Structure 1
């Protein structure tokens, strides 16, 4: 359960040490190792996590001098307190480094109890094969079950094997179940064993086809045992050719069992493939591959003289070899069996499996990085600071960065048609035959010949002669046409009488409109009601029209509403659309009396209903309403949903032929990521703009400007901007460009005027840019900025909040800032959520709240905000809020952020590098960041190459990366680059280049560069010899935490080099170092106590310090303890061991460089090596004064008075 206790409560409860511990843990996880070391030292032996972190720092030389003895001690302390990562390391350490299977199993069992699957597998294997413990199949099974329950396929396979080999039928079934699970989880051996069960009907119903299917799946993964088994099945089925094919595939890969099977196949005299010579050759190959049965078979062939000449001597030799092979198989060492079992038969050593120790123990290739009592440079992460996150950016809003949807919301009223005001009831078409007759009467330049309905397709006779007046004919003129109408009417009446609702409805239409019959609304009502009684919603709709148009007697508008409502709720889109319009505006009678009150809610409901029925005009009207609604108060999610709905409505309307929907839809297509939609937007905008539509011209200008569907073209864009009408959007865009002089002659006055015009029209981005212009001009800008914020412009609101936060010395400003962030965060603005999360995360302006911080980071990150993704990853990496680090989640969010935020790639690489010891993935991510010009990515990748982490050392690549980062002002890269030049890692030393970069780094406060300059100044290498400068540089480095610099400084004070001799100050420095378990400082301090150099002699305290120094790896202290013990014992003598001179031999090395090496070794605590170098130096350069002085100082230690 997550802890919600604020950090200050924890401090109150547990005191400052708990705070230091918490800070130390966070410092370590951030990679701030020097600070972490100071805080965590207080928790050594008390907190297992602190022990573990200090152990890693000592092991890797990160922030603490590398000391393997101390590292192991801290790992052990942490493991004994139950910290799983420490237990895992101790297990691997004893398995690989110490080769002590008993102790390894002890720690693997501890880790297994902590839920580590890998440890459970090892423990199972150790008990199964008796490695480091007596064999115990019950214990092996228990550990395997624990791992199998977690889905581990190897454990599931092992259980499957065990249970399937049982004589109990129920266990065989259980074995099949476990094998199935293992197979589903990708264990190929499980497929092969499961196939064997199906082939023989053990624990499952016999099914040879199923067995073959499973083996085929395994063989497809190139499993040789599967191929062998397929060959055996084919042989059993009397198909030697198929058996041969499978055997040959496995045999070609060196499988001795397959080779032996082939030999038997060819040597079978009754088989169809009998060939003794070929059989002999395969038998020989199998025997040479240590197949005991093949060796015995070969012996038999030589003895019997089959396929080869009889040779009793060779027969005896092969028989002896077979016996030896069988004996060897029986005596296979347990460690080989365990290694093979754990690797699924792929490895014979633990080092080649997942049980390797990893990290610096075996993956670092540079010997210099493995040297004791040295610092190694550590990878760094970028930091998102409060200043970088909240610094107000008073920069004009770029028109190209504003979402097209923001522009469209302002333009939408200008794109609306007039149909909203000029609507009428939609009419259903009349009977098709009646319509055809009406069409024949329509005025036209030329009519087609008329056809009689009653006489089929026979045309009416047309006379060419001028007719004489015929009175009877005049009275009966057109009787044929009337006869056609009557024929259709008769047919409809007949159908209506029979109760067909369509006929009833169509007759009602004829009476309603007076077509083919006299207009008679009352008669229309009769027929419509007949149809309506049969649920014909068209009839209900038309009834509604008759009543609402006042065509009935008596007039009854309410009845019309009722009929219309009934039709609408039965799904009639015409009725739904009609009611929507009625409720939208209200309904008046001819005298102007309001019959139906406007009801916006009802109107919108009807528009939604009609739109859901794909009624184009309703879809357009609804989209138009949604666009015009004030959406400034909507949340981000709500606005996105609204935009999606509007887009769908416009698409539907355009598809239904609503012309007014086409241009608005083009705006939405322009916002789409689909190139095809973008192309449609461009084509529509171009077509409409060419036709003179000013809003289309604006869209076309935007498309050209942003390169949407066409290449960017600023000239075309400016042309179309000028063609567009001067609406608020155009005024904003042109105003901004005139102010900036972008594409137009710079004219600030004209630009401000246009921006003011846009602002007066309510476009908030214009207010924002006006505020920024006023700020730049030194005018009052806050009111203008606040106007934009009040219109819910998040960009303006966050800028205002950032401005207030920058002046957080005023509590009111901090509160205002927090309130603004909260307001926009509540609406789903991802940037506001990020900034508010950071406040809660770091406790700025109020109490820290890790739970709220996590929620807000997550909300922002899920919207794709890369900095929020990065900080959420860091939140999980740091284990903020009392949580344990969750590196899986951290890596997930870093991976999401790294695409657009390079520091996330650095952080991801850092986790792989310092937590997982996965240098391949670390390097990949550092490279990703370096490719994006990230200096820490370059530096960290340089370390991978310099130290040879998981790959050969490559100084060339390291130099290039360091140089790029150094040229960008990154001091750690300068220091490493200087080191490469100084040591001559690429073959040739360049002391002056090294000095240049050391100085540059030191000027930027780099602790290691200051130390190196101190060493150079003390020895006169690359610069003048100057003890005063040396002391100054050492002091600066020491103040920054460099222990070697502090050791050098102590020596300078002890012997009065560059400063007045001050043994007490030297003692204080040794005490500081000794308190941090610096073995050489403990030794030096012990000698001062024993000698009484700090006052009276303190032999007991001195001896205690010698013991501590010895435990921490000091050979000098161990030797001195032996000497003291010898002095106290009457019968014990001490013979000082002869120290062989193993100082490095560097041909042609100058005196000053030898002297520098000697002092460098002295500073890191290796007095023995320092002596060796000085001895050699004095023998080669006896008159080199600086070395002579150091030589004498070292030898003084052997003349202490207490030793007589």
Structure 2
């Protein structure tokens, strides 16, 4: 009955009836769905100046439903409705300007139309206007204004705005940093299905940041985000299964989640998936497949994967043994301050596999990073000075760099600094200082430091810890970094 009455009114020329009849055809209400017929009736109403019909006609052109897709036509009809104050049309017109669809890209025009809709209370427009302020696009950057608009949208229940408002609180941008308030907004967004909010909330539960640590709650949120395809959540969910944190330990399930994230290009997941294949955990051991995944992560610049790939080349596992290739990947990791890669190079260099000038280049890399406060680089630079590699040998300078790294908690630096004090190299011999640094390293589980500390306590004399033979130390190091079954 309603369809018939609406059709009668539409055929009589009533614009509202024409619009409503178009909606009924578009939704299949009281009649078989027919997008083309819907567009026909919207056009009749739009040509009479009805804003709602102009908006729907614009949307049809934008999406190519019932009519050939045409962004310019979409912009034309959106503009007609927007100029009459239709908020959805204003918002969509702003999007077209922002994306340069059907009109020349123009951030200022986008801001203008977002603002018109936002001031009428349109939450999506408020959120997008906030983003423009946060990025300084089409308007001067203003974090405070961004927060203001995000809050307006968030309080209306806009999930994207709730998530972004939570981020603003975590970063303290445009507002005083407040993790507890951030958690509140992340919760609201997460409950509405925003995957990024679910993933961040999971991380906060994992770390116990502003919420009591709860591995099970973390897994719950990781799973929700992971099932939506969030790669970071898929990786962390895999990690939870690997460690058995918040869920029963299960390597096969871990491999499944690592694979999903790895196939999306997540370097952490690619590295861990490679490791699972290398160790034969949750999957049949396959060193060639391990190399494949290490390489994918390494090519993205992930230092951990570069180190592991270098190890595979040095050992000839999953790939033909090639020290030159190994050194190439290890150097890439060293440039990022990876201490494990440097430790391996320290073994490979004496074998004569690397040219002397590479030491000079290494010193330059370390110095740049060390002067910026990178603890691993500070330690490595100390080693180069202590051994006279790429720089004139200087124990005093070595001590200076060891100290900087040791004070940041680098265990090898603490141990080496203890040795320098014990032997009086680069610093006045001081048993108490040696014991102090050995103790710090020992408390972090450093076996040589623990031994040195026990000797000093027992004999109260100098400790000279003999270095293992090159081959034996190399394989011991590999075992520590890259344990075999």
State the TM-score bracket (shorter-chain normalisation).
Answer: 0.7 to 0.9
Q: CA deviation at 1:831?
A: 0.3
Provide closer, same or farther for how the CA distance between residues 1054 and 855 of structure 1 changes in structure 2, counting only shifts above 3 A. farther
2:183 is equivalent to residue 896 of structure 1: no
User: Once the two structures are superposed, what CA deviation does each residue of 1:88-119 show, in whole Å capped at 9, x if it has no partner?
Assistant: xxxxxxxxxxxxxxxxxxxxxxxxxxxxxxxx
The reply to whether residue 1113 of structure 1 matches residue 405 of structure 2 is: no
Distance in 2 (CA, whole Å) between partners of 1:940 and 1:911 is 12
Q: Is there any run of 5+ residues in structure 2 with no aligned partner, and where?
A: 10-15, 430-459
Q: Do structure 1's residue 728 and structure 2's residue 19 form an aligned pair? A: yes
2:424 corresponds to which residue? 1124
The equivalent of 1:835 in structure 2 is 128
Following TM superposition, by how much is the alpha carbon of 1:1040 offset from its aligned partner in structure 2, in angstroms?
5.8
Match of 1:1104 among 400, 404, 415: 400
Structure-1 separation of matches of 2:4 and 2:340: 77
Counterpart CA distance in 1 for 2:100 and 2:293 is 39
**Distance in structure 1 (CA, Å) of the matches to 2:467 and 2:334:** 32
Please say if 1:799 is aligned against 2:117. no
Give the direction of change, closer, same or farther, for the CA distance of 1:804–1:985 in structure 2 (3 Å limit).
Answer: same
1:1134–1:769 CA distance, 2 compared to 1 (3 A): closer
1:769 counterpart = 2:59: yes
Do the aligned partners of 2:337 and 2:366 also contact (CA within 8 Å) in 1?
Answer: no
Partners of 1:920 and 1:1099 in 2: CA distance: 50
Q: Is the 8 A contact 2:276 2:283 kept in 1?
A: no
Counterpart Cα distance in 2 of 1:930 and 1:836: 29
For structure 1, list consecutive stretches of 5 or more residues without a partner in the other structure. Answer: 1-687, 699-724, 1142-1150, 1165-1169, 1174-1204
Matching residue of 1:992: 288
How far did 1:821 drift? Answer: 0.8
SS at match of 1:880: coil
Equivalent residues in 2 for 1:696-845, closer than 5 Å: 727-731=18-22, 734=25, 753-761=40-48, 762=50, 763-769=53-59, 771-772=61-62, 776-777=69-70, 782-807=75-100, 813-845=106-138
Task: Tell me the distance in 2 between the aligned counterparts of 1:1019 and 1:962.
Answer: 25
Instruction: Summarize the alignment of residues 778-1177 of structure 1 with structure 2, pairs less than 5 Å apart.
Output: 782-807=75-100, 813-881=106-174, 883-884=176-177, 886-898=178-190, 899-914=192-207, 915=209, 916=211, 917-949=213-245, 953-986=249-282, 989-1038=285-334, 1042-1045=338-341, 1057=353, 1061-1072=357-368, 1074-1075=370-371, 1082=378, 1085-1086=381-382, 1088-1090=384-386, 1092-1094=388-390, 1096-1108=392-404, 1112-1114=410-412, 1115-1124=415-424, 1134=462, 1136-1137=464-465, 1158-1159=477-478, 1161=480
Superimposed CA distance per residue, residues 645-688 of structure 1 (whole angstroms, 9 cap, x where no aligned partner): xxxxxxxxxxxxxxxxxxxxxxxxxxxxxxxxxxxxxxxxxxx4
Write out aligned runs for 1:402-421 (5 A). Answer: none
1:863, CA displacement in angstroms? 1.7
- Matched residue, 1:679: none
Instruction: Give the whole-Å Cα distance in 2 for the aligned partners of 1:1128 and 1:1042.
Output: 30
Contact 2:303 2:338 (C-alpha < 8 Å) held by counterparts: yes
Secondary structure in 1 matching 2:106: helix
Q: How many positions carry a matched residue from both structures? A: 429
Distance 1:856 1:911 in 2: 25
Is the Cα–Cα contact under 8 Å of residues 764 and 791 in structure 1 kept in the other structure?
no
Deviation of 1:838 after TM superposition, in Å, equals 1.8
Is the CA contact (8 Å cut-off) linking 1:1019 and 1:1156 kept in structure 2? no
Q: Distance in 2 between matches of 1:897 and 1:843?
A: 24
Q: Distance in 1 between matches of 2:58 and 2:116?
A: 18
8 Å contact kept, 2:7–2:21: no
Query: Is the CA contact 2:337–2:374 (under 8 Å) kept in the aligned structure 1?
Result: no
1:1136 positional shift: 2.7
Paired residues of 1:1126 and 1:1133 also in contact (CA < 8 A): no
| Structure 1 pair 944–1116 and aligned structure 2 pair: CA distance change class (3 A) | same
Deviation at 1:941, TM superposition (A): 2.0
Provide the TM-score with structure 1 as the length reference. Answer: 0.32
Structure 1 residue 1023 displacement after superposition: 0.8
Instruction: Give runs of aligned pairs for residues 102-501 of structure 1, distance below 5 A.
Output: none
State the distance in 1 between where 2:61 and 2:136 align: 31
Query: 1:1002/1:937 Cα in 2 relative to 1: closer, same or farther (>3 Å)?
Result: same
Q: Higher relative CO (CA 8 A, sep ≥ 6), structure 1 or 2? A: 1
Q: Per-residue deviation at 1:1107?
A: 4.5
